[in-house]
Amino acid sequence: MCGIVGVIAKRPAAGLLLEGLRRLEYRGYDSAGLATLEGGKIARRRARGKIRALEDRLREEPLPGVTGIGHTRWATHGKPNEANAHPHATGQVAVVHNGIIENYKELRRELEQKGCVFQSETDTETVAHLLSVYLREGASPAEAAAKALPRLEGAFALAMIFAGHEGLVIGARRGSPLAVGHGEGEMYLGSDALALAPLTSRVTYLEEGDWAELTADGAVFHDAGNNIVSREAQQTALSGAMIGKAGYRHFMLKEIFEQPGVVGDTLASLIDPETGRVALPDLPFKWNAIQKISIVACGTAYYAAKTAKYWFEQVAGLPVEVDIASEYRYRSPPLHDKGALMVISQSGETADTLAALRFAGERGQKTLAVVNVPGSSIARAADGVLQTHAGPEIGVASTKAFTAQLAVLACLALDCARTRGAVDETRLDALTQALRAVPGHINAVLQKSASIREAAQILAEARDMLYLGRGLYYPIALEGALKLKEISYIHAEGYAAGELKHGPIALIDEDMPVVVVAPHDALFEKTASNIQEVMARGAKVLVVTDEKGASSLDPPPFWQLALPEIDPFAAPLVCVVPLQVLAYETALAKGTDVDQPRNLAKSVTVE
Ligand code: G6P
């Protein structure tokens, strides 16, 4: 979390830094700040809240200077106020930071004993003081960085400027991503290539442990052992145009409506148009050579993994273990000698997912990453990559990245099924066809937004909610509940419908709406009984089903949405869409900040 930028420019730095920060705001929006060199001295402007507040502050008090750094914060240590906003500075140095300095308490004690006076509660300020101590001892900026960096524990990306050193920015990465951008007589630093896209499409990603000295002429890269190393620059395909809402009220709504295209593009990248069959690039392992796959992810991507478990096990007969990355990495799971690891991540930067990938990779497992951002840390660390073609996702609550992940995972399951001979060709073709029909079905669901809006008025009054589903619809219920709580702040729990009687039914009364995902599949009658059980206890039940399901629910629920009929294999990609719209409309009715919900960040680069 937190976004950092740095520039050495031929023009005023503040505007360039702000442009970069706007594109990084998805990483956090508790506060924002800039520091530049003004006549060799460090000058700062900071503001609590979103980048808009910093822009207002800069209008009142502009910030001159052509060398500078900027930050948008997701608070870890210290309240989200101005004193804790980055950059943190002493007279000699200003620092912006993404990540956590784990040994900051020891460092702070040591530095206070040396007479350093701290002005914030942050871990970051220790870095500024540590550098200053070395600078006061006579070290050059690069020498100070080389001494300070090994003393820091934790995962971080840093950018620093130094008083009296116009035209110098030092950046460092350990755990958190950092990219160097190459311009014409200008150099840039950013948390990701997206931040740099308006400035340059030539970037060099720092490797783990690297630090770099940027001057107007270029960059000198050092590895963790302070050796000078060469790092290749690459072209990125990202557009410099600011990603807009294209007339939609929110990014989230735009992204929900992009799903037919995004799922279509992702499927098109994996299905041969000639044969109509799944045709994947080479994978780092052979389906026939493995006996188990572990799929690890966080948040929404974890629910994509849970859906994939049903697909791989039902269609391909391959045992699947699914885990939350933060649990997997620390529970030291015994790794199957015929196992493989797959991680799923929209950003490709989630710290726990990256650590899980490294954990398995270091122990000899072949690793495959399903990511949305090519060139991301996870994409670069994995043995093989499959890309979701969702395009930049800005709304913090993930929508189109999820359906694109499902599209990739469904294709992988079909590829696995074919290779292992688990399903005959006719059935495989039918399943592939069902997937190809998904974009059209999503379109049809989006036409029903008005009906979903009506249901949202009911949910907006609730304090607690349950989401139920069975089989493939259980992970979809979990994702629906996550969407609702993320953006409307209503407490919502997803449950396997069969678990209802083992606890959650005790919560049911007329104030507890229940959303049930139940298209008419082999388990429909069982879920229909669960629906009657909660209705009998006074709950308002909202059912997402299909035509067949809708006509067989008797008595009918309080509200229901009938989706077009589709093979249950492909149905999760369609069923999740009304739940996204339901969460969106509920948040709208409650007046919450849909695109940037409180306390959250899009890319979680701390543990
Ligand atoms: C954060 C985001 C979620 C996302 C999760 C995993 O919590 O708010 O929307 O699902 O991180 O992110 P990733 O980029 O790894 O998919």
Which residues are within 8 A (CB) of 544 and not within 5 positions of it... i.e. 6 or more apart? 515, 516, 517, 518, 519, 560, 561, 563, 575, 578, 579
Residue 70 has a pLDDT of: 98
pTM over 0.75: yes
pLDDT at 412 over 60: yes
Task: List pLDDT tens digits, range 326-352.
Answer: 999 899 899 999 999 999 999 999 999
What's the CATH code, domain 447-607? 3.40.50.10490
Choice from 29, 603, 606, 607 to test ligand 1 binding pocket (greatest atom count within 8 A of CB): 603
Residue 374 has a pLDDT of: 84
pLDDT at 145 over 80: yes
**Which of 479-488, 554-563, 582-591 has the least mean pLDDT?**
554-563
Choice from 344, 345, 396, 602 to test ligand 1 binding pocket (greatest atom count within 8 A of CB): 602
pLDDT at 135 over 90: yes
345 lines ligand 1 (CB under 6 A): yes
First to last CA, the chain: 10
Q: What is the DSSP letter of 500?
A: G
Q: Which residue has the higher pLDDT, 471 or 28?
A: 471
CA distance 534 to 356: 39
| Ligand 1 closest atom vs CA 378 | 15
CA distance 413 to 278: 10
Arithmetic mean of pLDDT, 425-440: 95
Percentage of the residues of the chain whose pLDDT score is greater than 90: 84
Domains 247-436 and 447-607 share a fold: yes
Expressed in angstroms and rounded, the spacing between residue 302 Cα and the centre of ligand 1 is 9
602 lines ligand 1 (CB under 6 A): yes
347 lines ligand 1 (CB under 6 A): yes
Please state the φ and ψ torsions of residue 207, each to the nearest 5 degrees: -80, 165
What are the residue boundaries of the structural domains of the chain, listed by start?
3-242, 247-436, 447-607
Residue 240 has a pLDDT of: 61
Neighbours of 137 (CB within 10 A): 10
Burial of residue 506, with CB atoms counted within 10 A of its CB: 0-12 exposed, 13-18 middle, 19 or more buried: exposed
Residue 192 has a pLDDT of: 87
491 sits in which H/E element: strand 491-496
406 lines ligand 1 (CB under 6 A): no
Task: List pLDDT tens digits, range 249-276.
Answer: 999 999 999 999 899 999 999 999 889 8
Residue 177 has a pLDDT of: 85
Percentage of the residues of the chain whose pLDDT score is greater than 70: 99
Q: pLDDT class for 239, splitting at 50, 70, 90?
A: low
Expressed in angstroms and rounded, the spacing between residue 349 Cα and the centre of ligand 1 is 9
Q: pLDDT class for 241, splitting at 50, 70, 90?
A: low
Residue 155 has a pLDDT of: 80
Please state the φ and ψ torsions of residue 495, each to the nearest 5 degrees: -135, 150
Please list the residues that pair with 541 across neighbouring strands.
Answer: 514
Q: pLDDT class for 215, splitting at 50, 70, 90?
A: very high
Please give the structure tokens belonging to residue 120: 């914030």
Expressed in angstroms and rounded, the spacing between residue 7 Cα and the centre of ligand 1 is 28
Residue 208 has a pLDDT of: 86
Question: Edge-to-edge strands of the sheet including 559-563?
Answer: 491-496, 464-469, 514-517, 541-546, 559-563
Expressed in angstroms and rounded, the spacing between residue 396 Cα and the centre of ligand 1 is 8
**Which of 6-10, 205-209, 494-498 has the least mean pLDDT?**
205-209
CA distance 520 to 3: 45
13 lines ligand 1 (CB under 6 A): no
| Ligand 1 closest atom vs CA 298 | 6
Residue 273 has a pLDDT of: 85
> Among 3.40.50.10490, 3.30.465.10, 3.30.450.20, 2.60.120.10, what is the CATH number of 247-436?
3.40.50.10490
Asked if residue 555 has a cis previous peptide bond (ω within 30° of 0), the answer is yes
CA distance 73 to 78: 11
Arithmetic mean of pLDDT, 8-12: 97
Q: Catalytic residue numbers? A: 2, 602
Expressed in angstroms and rounded, the spacing between residue 389 Cα and the centre of ligand 1 is 16
- Asked if residue 32 lies in contact with residue 3, where contact means CB atoms within 8 angstroms, the answer is no
Expressed in angstroms and rounded, the spacing between residue 512 Cα and the centre of ligand 1 is 28
What is the four-CA torsion angle of 110, 111, 113, 118, rounded to 10 degrees?
Answer: -130
For residue 320, which of 346, 296, 354 has the smallest C-alpha distance?
296
**Which of 24-28, 62-66, 466-470 has the least mean pLDDT?**
24-28
Residue 400 has a pLDDT of: 97
305 lines ligand 1 (CB under 6 A): no
Choice from 347, 594, 595 to test ligand 1 binding pocket (greatest atom count within 8 A of CB): 347
Average pLDDT taken over every residue of the chain: 94
Residue nearest ligand 1's atom 8 by CA: 602
Q: pLDDT class for 426, splitting at 50, 70, 90?
A: very high
Residue 458 has a pLDDT of: 87
- Asked if residue 192 lies in contact with residue 7, where contact means CB atoms within 8 angstroms, the answer is no
CA distance 571 to 516: 14
Neighbours of 276 (CB within 10 A): 12
Diameter of the chain measured on Cα atoms: 82
Arithmetic mean of pLDDT, 36-44: 96
301 lines ligand 1 (CB under 6 A): yes
Task: List pLDDT tens digits, range 568-590.
Answer: 999 999 999 999 999 999 999 99
> Among 2.70.150.10, 3.20.20.70, 3.30.1540.10, 3.60.20.10, what is the CATH number of 3-242?
3.60.20.10
Q: What is the 3-state secondary structure (H, E, C) of 17-83?
A: HHHHHHHHHHHCCCEEEEEEEECCEEEEEEEECCHHHHHHHHHHCCCCCCEEEEEEECCCCCCCCCC
Q: pLDDT class for 379, splitting at 50, 70, 90?
A: very high
Expressed in angstroms and rounded, the spacing between residue 495 Cα and the centre of ligand 1 is 21
| Ligand 1 closest atom vs CA 297 | 15
- Asked if residue 71 lies in contact with residue 32, where contact means CB atoms within 8 angstroms, the answer is yes
Arithmetic mean of pLDDT, 141-164: 95
Residue 475 has a pLDDT of: 98
- Asked if residue 262 lies in contact with residue 400, where contact means CB atoms within 8 angstroms, the answer is yes
